[in-house]
Amino acid sequence: MLNVLRPAVSRVLTPLGRALADRGVSPDMVTATGTLGTVACALYFFPRGELWWGSLAVTFFVLADMLDGVVARARGGGGSTWGAFLDSSLDRIADAAIFAGLIFYFFDSGQRVLAGVALFCLIAGMLVSYVKARAEGLGMTCDVGLAERTERLIIVLTSAGFGHLGVPYLTAAGLWVLAAASAFTVVQRLLHVRRQAVPE
């Protein structure tokens, strides 16, 4: 849904991508660094209740998800099959760390309902990605969805960060909205694939 912003963001990141490529940094190194940074920050800040600083730190490293493609192009290529596979696989690890950190925080602070909602968001987010990967593996398309990864990260990081600064009910509202949007996206993608697999 927000993929229309990718070209503009890529143009902003291009100078940095070229500088990294000139210094011998590979796209895979950028991808791995972004994931490691995201996992470390999410599992350090979120369980401690430092949701604002955690959201800022995670956002910084999540940007590497777009920078790796810029580095690939700066090195004269459009990315490799291995790079695409690695990027997609590490995205799942990063997402799991973000929600795991929040689940630890909610559970430890006695917010059991929000811990459950965050767990649902994690599972639904994984299903959103799995349905698309499975469909494409079977030769079908699945480029639809209300809440793709970018949207999900924006919602969870914004609501967690600003909610911790004192905006009333923002964190809870963000998680409930994300849960509903993720569930809707799973159904949306399943129906899209069914229309291809079982034509009327």
Residues taking part in catalysis:
91
Contact in structure between 38 and 97 (CB atoms under 8 Å): yes
Query: How many whole angstroms separate alpha carbon 46 and alpha carbon 94?
Result: 13
Of the candidates 115, 105, 106, the residue with the CA atom closest to the CA atom of residue 46: 105
Query: How many whole angstroms separate alpha carbon 103 and alpha carbon 177?
Result: 17
Contact in structure between 70 and 12 (CB atoms under 8 Å): no
Query: How many whole angstroms separate alpha carbon 62 and alpha carbon 55?
Result: 10
